[in-house]
Amino acid sequence: MSSLEQLKLSKIIWNASTGSQEKKVALPFLQASIDKALQGGLAQYGLLNFHTYSGSGELSFLSSVIKAARQEGQYIALINPPGQPNTHWFQRDICSSDYLFCVHSSENSQNLWAFEQCIMSGVCAVVLAWNLTATSQQLRRCHVKATQHGCKAIWFSSPNTQQSAIQTPCSEQLALYKKEQQWYLDVLKQQGGWPQMGIQINNPMPISNNVINRTLHASVLSTAINH
Amino acid sequence: MWLGLYFPALLIPKEVSVPLVVYHAPQNQVIQCNLAASKFGIEIGMGLASASALCAQLEVLTYSAEKERLRLTHILYQLYKLNGDICLESSCELLIRCDRHDYYYGSKQIHLRVLLDALNKHNTPFYYATANTPEQACVLAKARVNRLFSKELVLTALYDLNITQLQLSLKTQQQLQRVGVHSVKALLALPIEELAGRFSQDTIKYLYAIKGLSNLGRVFYQPKTFFTECIELPFEMENQEHLLRWARALLDLLQSYLRSRNQATQEITFTFIDSEKCSYPLVLQASLAQYLSHDWAATLALKLEKTTFSNPIRSIQLECHNSLDISPSSNDFFSNQRTHAIDVHKLFDTLSTRLEDNAFHPPNNPFFTLSEHWPADAATPAFMLTKPIRLVSKGRIVAGPQRLQTQWWCTPLKRDYFLLETPQAERLWVYRNTSVNSASPTWYFQGWFS
């Protein structure tokens, strides 16, 4: 048996033609260039491996996907997030904080266990994990469980620890980065499609001075009126 | 009609096959022994020296009335589900009043057969007898007759016994023997009125009861309003899987206890007691009241994974003090929402049991302390540090300043917030502390615009 066949048998690689049939419901980014490259968006269930630095607007970028994946009453789990979630921000951009919970263990193994439990619970629509380390087997296990239990698992990893596309069993592998004032998205791997590099995307700054001046002006004005 | 039950070997563990006796030190007597010990010629009533002389490998357990009563209570609890009129006569005797429950079983024979089958399942040796009064049932069971007597034959069976088998004081027995009364038949042939002047009131009452002419009052068993059970392990255990198996037996008892009351509980306490008598209490909690043993066993397994015992475990105790009634109206078989709610609680219980304290939590809003001084529509980061740290990254200011300043009645605080972009395009929320008294501002990092 050839090594290619062995890889196919272990489901590390697959034929693009067979994969496209499995992707029945897509979670769109609502950006034409990305949705076109991903044939409508991300797979509804499974593991997304997302390479980016914390604070590069990654959650804002994924907000449309998360909102599309979540139904009323379903939870969003944050495993080992970089800081404490700001409920104001989540309320405005993702969902009510009533449907949000965090796992912040000091041990990687415990975080990984919690990641798997949340995926398998059938309670969480989306499970997001930051900066965890896992073997290919562990990732594959999470991917399979996410597919079986109807969950979108999102695995954030730093671009410095980028594994090769073959080493990471997942439904999609994306990389978000900025180059000369322009944001790009690389589709390193997708089930049922070809990789595509350097997709120009829109990832705006969350604050601009125009807004700041306006809010400052408003607050100063209101303070003045109150006094 | 009363059923008397006598358990002669409650303290002999079922699993042990080596010669074993239970020794009562104050009487210097062997009071219980297993079959292996009997094969060596050891008998009840022997001294320890004689027993040891007969068998060199003899295992000896010290008698404890408390442990014996606890074992008997386990049996009593099983029988209580079949017949509520049951009393704990002594640490090795039970009495069951049958006539009031015969109606529910169809006949007396079926009722008694059900009770005896339940006892046989328990796999503890016992002797039984039925009689007209509790005193008669006790005496006949202790005499090991193992028969279900009809009303007419009870006295005939009693006549065959010796007066030493009655629960009379030693002094009374000696008095009777001195006047030539050795058998129960001879004793009961005497007119009791004539004995009244020679013996105490209690003895006379007892004799009336034995004759079936009166019935001494009995207090029936009342189950406790809380659950507490203890298991003495047959050997010292360290392996968590083994411990879990024995704990599961206790959880099955709890399930049976709760189910018979249509109740569930949110908190139970396991106490593991090691060979040095150190206790390890493990409190298990569930956000949704539950009664099924496998649900609690899953929680216990997670808790045991995190627990280490200094010494092997000798006994396990389970307590449940607070149980809640299950409302039938809340059980909607066709509601998916309820199933989802149960799944949510199960996930939360699993995470909070396994993970270290505070590792699992709903989001605590770190922005809360600042929000009252901040414009409602101002942009804030997705993730924040609860305690800001000194900024060490280099970058360029993209937006700001946005000033946060407390009013005169609050603690003085004056900060200018900026959006800083690092060379890796990370968007950080930083601030410059422009304290009123501060000449040189310091930069702090407080969040990520994810």
The domains of chain A, with CATH numbers, are: 14-226 (3.40.50.300)
CA distance A209 to chain B (A): 5
Residue whose C-alpha is closest to residue B448's, from B384, B393, B398:
B384
Q: Is residue B248 part of a domain?
A: yes
Mapping DSSP to helix (H, G, I), strand (E, B) and coil, where does residue B415 land? strand
How many Å apart are CA A199 and CA B434, to the nearest integer?
42
Q: Is residue B174 part of a domain?
A: no
- By Cβ distance, the residue of A82, A90, A212 closest to B399 is A212
Residue B73 sits in a domain whose CATH number is 3.30.70
Residues 151-210, chain A, touching B (beta carbon < 8 A): 177-178, 183, 205-209
CB atoms within 10 A of CB A91: 14
pLDDT reading at B305 higher than 70: yes
The pLDDT value recorded for residue B243 is 92
Place of tokens 């490259």: A37
Cβ contact B296:B216 at 8 Å: no
Banded model confidence at residue A222, pLDDT cuts 50, 70, 90: very low
pLDDT reading at B156 higher than 90: no
Q: Is residue B212 part of a domain?
A: no
Phi, psi of B119 (to 5 degrees): -70, -40
Q: What is the DSSP letter of B374?
A: S
Banded model confidence at residue B415, pLDDT cuts 50, 70, 90: confident
How many Å apart are CA B386 and CA B447, to the nearest integer?
9
Q: Among all residues of chain A, which has the CA nearest to that of B347? A: A121
Q: Summarize pLDDT for B250-286 with one digit per residue, the tens.
A: 999 899 888 888 889 999 999 999 988 899 999 998 8
pLDDT reading at B334 higher than 70: no
Q: Among all residues of chain A, which has the CA nearest to that of B428? A: A55
Contact A97 B363 (CB under 8 A): yes
CA distance A153 to chain B (A): 16
Cβ contact A115:A127 at 8 Å: yes
Contact B363 A85 (CB under 8 A): yes
Tokens found for residue A192: 């049922």
The pLDDT value recorded for residue A225 is 32
> Are residues B402 and B284 both part of a single domain?
no
Question: The domain containing residue B113 runs over which residues?
Answer: 2-18+57-150
Q: Summarize pLDDT for A61-117 with one digit per residue, the tens.
A: 999 999 999 988 899 999 999 998 988 888 888 888 889 999 999 999 999 999 999
Buried b (16+ CB within 10 A) or exposed e, A141-163: bbbebbbebebbbbbbbeeeeee
The pLDDT value recorded for residue B381 is 87
Residues 7-66, chain A, touching B (beta carbon < 8 A): 53-60
Q: Which of A51, A54, A75, A128 to mutate to test the interface with B (most CBs of B within 10 A)?
A: A54
Alpha carbon A170 to chain centroid distance?
Answer: 12
> Taking CB atoms and an 8 Å cut-off, how many pairs form between chains A and B?
166
How many Å apart are CA B404 and CA B133, to the nearest integer?
88
pTM: 0.66
pLDDT reading at A166 higher than 70: no
Contact B450 A178 (CB under 8 A): no
pLDDT reading at B441 higher than 50: yes
Beta strand B279-290 pairing with B263-274: antiparallel
Cβ contact B141:B5 at 8 Å: yes
Q: Is residue B172 part of a domain?
A: no
How many Å apart are CA A150 and CA A74, to the nearest integer?
12
Please state, rounded to an integer, the average pLDDT across all residues of chain B. Answer: 84
> Are residues B95 and B140 both part of a single domain?
yes
Residue B246 sits in a domain whose CATH number is 3.30.1490.100
Residues in chain A: 227
Question: Measured between beta carbons, which residues in chain A are less than 8 angstroms from residue B414?
Answer: none
> Are residues B251 and B390 both part of a single domain?
no
Q: Which residues pair with A137 in a beta bridge?
A: none
Residue whose C-alpha is closest to residue B269's, from B203, B217, B321, B211:
B321
Q: Is residue B26 part of a domain?
A: no
The pLDDT value recorded for residue A219 is 46
Q: Is residue B40 part of a domain?
A: no
Which of A162-176, B116-130, B284-298, B345-359 is predicted least confidently? A162-176
Determine the straight-line distance between the first and last CA of chain A, rounded to whole angstroms.
83
> Are residues B349 and B419 both part of a single domain?
no
CA distance B387 to chain A (A): 10
- By Cβ distance, the residue of A75, A86, A212 closest to B367 is A86
Tokens found for residue B412: 């003085």
Q: Summarize pLDDT for B32-55 with one digit per residue, the tens.
A: 888 888 889 998 888 989 999 998
Q: Is residue B156 part of a domain?
A: no
> Are residues B66 and B88 both part of a single domain?
yes
Q: Which of B132, B150, B168 is the last residue of a domain?
A: B150
Please state, rounded to an integer, the average pLDDT across all residues of chain A. Answer: 83
How many Å apart are CA B60 and CA B21, to the nearest integer?
5
Contact A215 B419 (CB under 8 A): no
Question: Beta-strand (E) ranges in B186-341?
Answer: 227-237, 263-274, 279-290, 313-320, 323-325
> Are residues B392 and B315 both part of a single domain?
no
Which of A158-167, B183-192, B398-407 is predicted least confidently? A158-167
Residue whose C-alpha is closest to residue B260's, from B299, B221, B227:
B227
Most confidently predicted of B217-221, B280-284, B362-366: B280-284
Banded model confidence at residue B395, pLDDT cuts 50, 70, 90: confident
Determine the straight-line distance between the first and last CA of chain B, rounded to whole angstroms.
80
Mean pLDDT over B224-253 rounds to 88
Count of structural domains, chain B: 3
> Are residues B9 and B131 both part of a single domain?
yes
Q: Which helix (H) or strand (E) holds B61?
A: strand B59-62
> Are residues B382 and B440 both part of a single domain?
yes
Cβ contact B448:B429 at 8 Å: yes
Q: Which helix (H) or strand (E) holds B253?
A: helix B240-260
Banded model confidence at residue A224, pLDDT cuts 50, 70, 90: very low
Mean pLDDT over B57-68 rounds to 87
The pLDDT value recorded for residue B332 is 52
> Are residues B314 and B237 both part of a single domain?
yes
The pLDDT value recorded for residue A183 is 93
> Are residues B239 and B377 both part of a single domain?
no
Q: Among all residues of chain A, which has the CA nearest to that of B377? A: A215
Contact A100 B363 (CB under 8 A): yes
Q: Summarize pLDDT for B18-30 with one digit per residue, the tens.
A: 888 999 989 888 9
The pLDDT value recorded for residue A100 is 92
Q: Which of A118, A219, A220, A227 to mutate to test the interface with B (most CBs of B within 10 A)?
A: A219
Mean pLDDT over A170-193 rounds to 90
The pLDDT value recorded for residue A76 is 94
Tokens found for residue B251: 């959880």
pLDDT reading at B331 higher than 60: no
Question: Measured between beta carbons, which residues in chain B are less than 8 angstroms from residue A104?
Answer: 358-361
Contact B347 A123 (CB under 8 A): yes
Q: Is residue B46 part of a domain?
A: no
Q: Which of B150, B176, B201 is the last residue of a domain?
A: B150
Is residue B377 exposed (0-12), middle (13-18) or buried (19+ Cβ within 10 Å)?
exposed
Contact B383 A82 (CB under 8 A): yes
> Are residues B6 and B142 both part of a single domain?
yes
> Are residues B303 and B414 both part of a single domain?
no
The pLDDT value recorded for residue A221 is 36
Contact A86 B381 (CB under 8 A): yes
Q: What is the DSSP letter of A23?
A: -
How many Å apart are CA A148 and CA B331, to the nearest integer?
28
Q: Which of B354, B381, B408 is the last residue of a domain?
A: B354
- Please report how the helices B65-80 and B240-260 are oriented relative to each other, as an axis angle in degrees rounded to 10: 50
Contact A88 B380 (CB under 8 A): yes
- Please report how the helices B240-260 and B293-306 are oriented relative to each other, as an axis angle in degrees rounded to 10: 150
- By Cβ distance, the residue of B350, B379, B450 closest to A59 is B450
- By Cβ distance, the residue of B344, B377, B400 closest to A123 is B344
Question: Measured between beta carbons, which residues in chain B are less than 8 angstroms from residue A117?
Answer: 347, 350-351
| Portion of chain B with pLDDT greater than 70, in percent | 92
ipTM of predicted assembly, 2 dp: 0.85
